[in-house]
Amino acid sequence: MRIIRLSQSKDREAWLDFRRGRISGTKVKIVKPLARGKDRTPMGFWQLLAEKIAIASDGEPDMDRGHRLEDEALTKTAEKYGLDMDLDPGVWVSDENEDIIFSPDGCEKSDRPTWVAEAKCLSSANHLKYVIKDMRARKQDDYNPIDSVPNDAKSSYREQAIDGFVVNENLETLYFTLYDDRIALDKYMHHVIVIKRSDILEEIEAQRQMQVETLIEVNKLIAELTEES
Q: Could you give the C-alpha distances from 86 to 75, 109, 111, 158, 190, in angstroms and in order?
A: 10, 5, 11, 22, 19
Please tell me the predicted confidence (pLDDT) of residue 10: 57
Please tell me the predicted confidence (pLDDT) of residue 49: 86
Torsion, Cα of 147, 151, 157, 162 (10° steps): 40
Please tell me the predicted confidence (pLDDT) of residue 40: 67
pLDDT mean by block of 10 residues, the chain; 229 residues: 45 54 42 54 84 86 88 97 94 88 92 94 94 96 95 82 92 97 95 97 92 88 81
Please tell me the predicted confidence (pLDDT) of residue 22: 44
For domain 58-228, give the CATH number.
Answer: 3.90.320.10
Torsion, Cα of 220, 222, 228, 229 (10° steps): -160
d(Cα 181, Cα 72) in Å, to the nearest integer? 10
β-bridge pairing 115-120 and 106-108: antiparallel
Helix (H) or strand (E) holding 176: strand 173-179
Please tell me the predicted confidence (pLDDT) of residue 21: 43
Residues 6 or more apart from 199 whose CB is under 8 A from it?
A: 144, 145, 146
Q: Which of 215, 48, 219, 71 has its CA nearest to residue 124? A: 48
d(Cα 141, Cα 186) in Å, to the nearest integer? 27
Q: Could you give the C-alpha distances from 60 to 19, 65, 66, 68, 123, in angstroms and in order?
A: 21, 6, 10, 10, 11
173 near 190, Cβ under 8 Å?
A: no
d(Cα 179, Cα 163) in Å, to the nearest integer? 21
- What pTM did the predictor assign? 0.83
Torsion sign (Cα): 52, 53, 58, 62: negative
Helix (H) or strand (E) holding 24: none
Domain layout of the chain by residue ranges: 58-228
183 near 53, Cβ under 8 Å?
A: yes
